[in-house]
Amino acid sequence: MAKLIIDDLHLSYGSTEILKGITATFAQGEIVALLGRSGSGKTTLLRSIAGLEEPKKGVISIGDQPVFDAAAGLNVPSEKRGLGLVFQSYALWPHKTVFENVAYGLRLRNVPKAELQQRVAAVLDGVGLGHLGDRYPHQMSGGQQQRVALARALVYNPPVILLDEPLSNLDAKLREEARIWIRTLIKRMNLTAVFVTHDQVEAMAIADRIVLLDGGRIVQAGTPEQLYTEPVSLFASEFMGVNNQIKSRVQDKRGGYARIELSGHPLWGKDRAGKGVSEEATGVIRLEQVEVVDGEGENRVPAELETSVYLGSHWEHVFRCGDQTLRAFGRPLPAGTHWLHLPPEQLWVF
Amino acid sequence: MNRATRIAVIVAMAIAVLAPIGLVVYQSFLDGPFFQPKTAFTLSAYEFVLDDEDFFDALYNSAIIALGMTAIAVPVGALLAFLMTRTDLPGRRWIEPVILVPMFVSSVVLAFGFVVSLGPAGFVTLWFKGVFGFVPWYLYSKWMLIVIAGLTHVPHVFLYTSSALRSLGSDVEEAARMTGAGPLRTAMTVSLPMVMPNILYAAVLVFFLGFELFGLPLVLGDPEGILVLATYLYKLTNKLGTPSYQLMAVVVVAIICIALPLVALQRFLLRAANRYVSVKGKASAQKPVSIGVWRWPAAAMITGWLLFTVVVPISGLVLRAFVSSWGEGVNLLDVLTLAHFRELMEFPNLTRGIVNTLLIASVGGALSVGVYTMLNLAAHRWQSGWTRLMDYLVLLPRAMPGLVAGLAIFWVFLFTPFLSPLRQTMIAIWVAYTLVWLAYGMRLVSGALLQIGPELEEAGRIVGASPGRVSRDLTIPLVKVGLFSSWLLIFVTFMREYSTGVYLLAPGTEVIGSLLVSLWGTGAVDLVTALSTVNIAMIGGGLLLMSLFGKRSHG
């Protein structure tokens, strides 16, 4: 069942269009990441759902209830939408204790005292802060503050919880742990969650589904696997992973494949953009798909090893092939020329 | 606050701002007082004023004085700011708080101080004459007025320039040093140009204050008959024997017409200046520039300025309040007395004035901060035509010097039937004070409100609080400290205010400032100095409270 529906949403600041027609559906119990660069409109979209921005066109519905409908002149204020929002800066109220920060939403809903005590304690326990209710936000670490912000957004059981770059203020180690416990917590409570991030690894780790935005439009929406293995555009492929790019022209086309060349060597790859013969095209292949092989063959190119970088679990090699650079992962290699295999089904031609 | 409340608050403010100005403009086109039954529309008042040589004399004097004091205050203030914020000048720490004192003492009180110290029979004059046999200055000349006005407005320039210099990141200076510029060159080519918009703003501010000057020319210009616009207006009451409302209205219109463009220019410059400083680098610990042997002449200059503008007038005034008489050959120890203060207590209107001043500053100041907060909340985080209207409305009272605003409010209370019983109560005074300091107070409170990030309030909306509850539960508690320090500043401001109450002075509405102005006219120097001393002590108390509270003032 669809929990949150966005239909043809447009939003402008003055004459600059931020959202240029966003249509998306979010199912009950689903965790969706809004992924994009800064300026892609992802945060604006989240704030529009929260009721903190006013779009000029489109419809937003939560459950079966429209909360925004530009044509009907409907714009339910934030406080009546009943959503939960975790701010990037956490926005904890510095003059209230942790307990009071969390309890505020329940007080506004006139929850009886005993029940309020019990519910706040339960949600604080849920985020692992049951014993810190008397503290003030400034007495806590960044990671703890983030948990309080989450508890505050969860305590009144919102139908949808929104998270704006929830992990960006944590340091790297903490962020990896937080990814896992946030996903576990949201799944355990069977909540519908929408979160904004610019980090594709974070999006893939937490989300069931990713909506990739660029320039106020949806570029691609799907499961993390779909976005990683079947990007629909050069932008999507570049955003989701680390790639080699081969600038060339389309030489030939046959059965869904297109042929390009790298310093005179022919390379077949999946035709992903339908470019015609002799049009300029870019071949894209993920670093981990490039294999170092023993000798010549189909879809193989010779390349000079330029340098190698040790990354702990593996080596990253940088090869030179004509005027272009290719990178690949692998074991340590001697200097000199090596043959590289670029499998046709892993090479995408855009 | 919901939309309807916001609009209601803004409309109420529009009425409060526009009614007095509208009444003045209306009155200026009548041939008699507006409350008389038989009046007709006419331009005769304009003709009379524009025919009056004294008016043009006053206009000319105002322009000359404003220009002259700007020419003095800006270089001195900017230099002072640079020396205090950027160099290793000896004794910076103890000089700095004293620099702002002239801003907090009412200018009539300072003027009295100059009279008793540097006037023809003043303490310093007589001492100088005794030592050197002659006196090279004459206090009541126009030049002396310009110098005094200029030097007492140095703090305004200092304040704006030094805060800009402080917020300027030292990295931009270090970058200049790294590329090979020496300290002096860095100051001239990097630091100074970057704070230029702020200096320019301060210059326009001082020029504008020059046009509004009332206390200094009232006291120092009077003996030689030097009139400026504000004192021309004040004297107009007596000029024709009967109060000629229409003429006063015309002068007020003239003053507003001069002030309004200047206020608009200030607003424009302030925005430009802020935009400039926001391009600053990272503010970090700054290493003072060593100015070598120049430290001593620089220190001497600052000490000289402090002596002239703070120490001499105030110590003279306080001394005069404690002596029975003063003249050539009088031994100080023989004439020390507390008689003036005892005398003060014998006048019920003077004691009432002291109590009223305390009340208006404390209770009235708190109420005013409440009003300013309401107005700010009405426009808080709301972009619309209404808030822009409010932005412009705030500027209007700013274009009315206290004397003028007091007169306009006086007329409003005379004119409006349900207000007229309140005319001779402190309520009229409070309304006038609140209106005169509207722009200042609004800025203080909005400064406090801007300290809290928008997401703290958005978080409140998200968890289910209405806009009103967000204001009550989150915004107000968060700005409590800021509101308290705003109140302290308003407290000191209301304490030293003198011109606004002049036309509202009546039994029951006495405040120290307006009493001083009227007492000076009667020549009661003993009482004036005693009352001034009381005023200085009260302001000193306020400043002490402020420094205990640990909040820097930004006037």
Query: How many domains does chain A contain in total?
Result: 2
- pLDDT (average), residues B485-506: 88
State the count of interchain CB pairs (< 8 A) between A and B. 64
Contact A52 B473 (CB under 8 A): no
Contacts of B7 (CB under 8 A, 6+ apart): B386
Q: Do A108 and B469 touch (CB under 8 A)?
A: yes
Q: Which of B140, B306, B270, B291 is nearest to B198 (CA)?
A: B270
pLDDT at B242 > cutoff 70: no
Residues A302-328 have a mean pLDDT of: 91
Q: Do A95 and B477 touch (CB under 8 A)?
A: yes
CA distance B486 to chain A (A): 20
Number of domains forming the structure of chain B: 1
> Residues A195-215: what's their mean pLDDT?
93
Q: Is the residue at B61 inside a domain? A: no
Arithmetic mean of pLDDT over chain B: 85
Residues A46 and A140 in one domain: yes
Instruction: State the residue range of the domain holding B141.
Output: 3-27+69-279+295-549
Do A305 and A334 lie in a common domain?
yes
How distant is the Cα of B456 from the closest Cα of chain A, in angstroms?
5
CATH number at residue A36: 3.40.50.300
Q: Are residues A128 and A10 in the same domain?
A: yes
Contacts of A43 in chain B (CB under 8 A): none
Query: pLDDT tens for residues B12-34?
Result: 999 989 988 998 898 888 887 88
Burial category of B349 from C-beta neighbours within 10 Å (exposed 0-12, middle 13-18, buried 19 and up): middle
For residue A17, pLDDT over 80 is answered with yes
Q: Residue B355 belongs to a domain with what CATH number? A: 1.10.3720.10
Kindly state whether residue B35 falls inside one of the protein's structural domains.
no
In this structure, the answer to whether residues A125 and A221 fall within a common structural domain is: yes
Put simply, whether A148 touches B (Cβ < 8 Å) is no
Q: In this complex, do A153 and B462 lie within 8 Å of one another by their Cβ atoms?
A: yes
Query: Token pair for residue B149?
Result: 């006005």
A residues 74..93 contacting B (CB < 8 A): 77-80, 82-85, 87-89, 91-93
Is the pTM higher than 0.90? The answer reads no
A332 plus A222 within the same structural domain: no
Mean pLDDT, rounded, for B208-231: 89
pLDDT digit string, tens, across residues B111-147: 999 999 998 888 888 888 888 888 888 899 999 999 9
Judging contacts by C-beta atoms under 8 Å, the chain B residues touching residue A87 are: 455, 458-459
A256 and A208 within one domain: no
Summarize pLDDT for B264-317 with one digit per residue, the tens. Answer: 888 888 777 666 554 444 445 566 777 777 788 888 888 899 999 999 999 999
Å between B464 CA and nearest CA of chain A: 4
Domain limit, last residue, from A207, A222, A237: A237
Same domain, A252 and A194: no
What band does B401 get if pLDDT is binned at 50, 70 and 90?
confident
Tell whether B477 is within 8 A of chain A (Cβ): yes
* Three-class SS state of A337: strand
B462/A85 Cβ within 8 A: yes
Mean pLDDT of B402-420: 85
A28-83 residue pLDDT tens = 999 999 999 988 999 999 999 998 888 999 999 998 899 999 999 999 988 889 89
| Burial class for A325, CB neighbours closer than 10 Å (0-12, 13-18, 19+) | middle
- Domain range holding A259? 242-349
Dump pLDDT digits (tens) for A139-183: 898 889 999 999 999 999 898 999 999 888 888 888 888 889 889
In angstroms, what separates the C-alpha of A103 from chain B's closest C-alpha? 10
> What pLDDT does residue B42 have?
85
Nearest CA in chain B to A92: B456
pLDDT tens digit sequence for B316-341: 999 888 888 776 667 777 778 888 88
Residues A231 and A251 in one domain: no
Q: What percent of chain B has a predicted confidence (pLDDT) above 70?
A: 93
**pLDDT per residue over B329-386, tens digit each?**
677 777 788 888 888 888 888 889 999 999 999 999 999 999 999 998 888 877 788 8
Give a yes or no: residue B535 inside a domain: yes
CA distances to A183, B87, B179, B259, B279 from B287, in Å:
49, 8, 17, 41, 21
Which of A196, A221, A237 delimits the end of a domain? A237
Question: What's the pLDDT at B355?
Answer: 92
CB contact under 8 A, B465 and A104: yes
B355 touches chain A (CB under 8 A): no
Determine the pLDDT at residue B225.
87
Q: Given a cut of 70, is residue A1 above it in pLDDT?
A: no
Residues A67 and A175 in one domain: yes
The reported pLDDT for the residue numbered A255 is 87
Residue B149 lies in a domain: yes
Residue B157 within any structural domain of the chain: yes
Residue of B nearest to A154 (CA): B463
Lowest-confidence segment of A260-264, B181-185, B501-505 by average pLDDT? B181-185
Q: Running DSSP on this structure, what letter comes out for residue B416?
A: S
In the structure encoding, which two tokens stand for residue A304, read together? 């000079």
Report the CATH number that the domain containing residue A292 is assigned in CATH: 2.40.50.140
Q: Which of A204, A221, A237 is the last residue of a domain?
A: A237
Q: What is the pLDDT of residues B508-525, one digit of tens each?
A: 888 998 899 888 888 888
Q: Is residue B42 part of a domain?
A: no
Same domain flag for A182 and A224: yes
| Same domain membership, residue A253 and residue A118 | no
Beta bridge partners of A257: A254, A270
Residue B213 lies in a domain: yes
Residue B114 located in a structural domain: yes
Instruction: Specify whether A300 is located in the same domain as A187.
Output: no
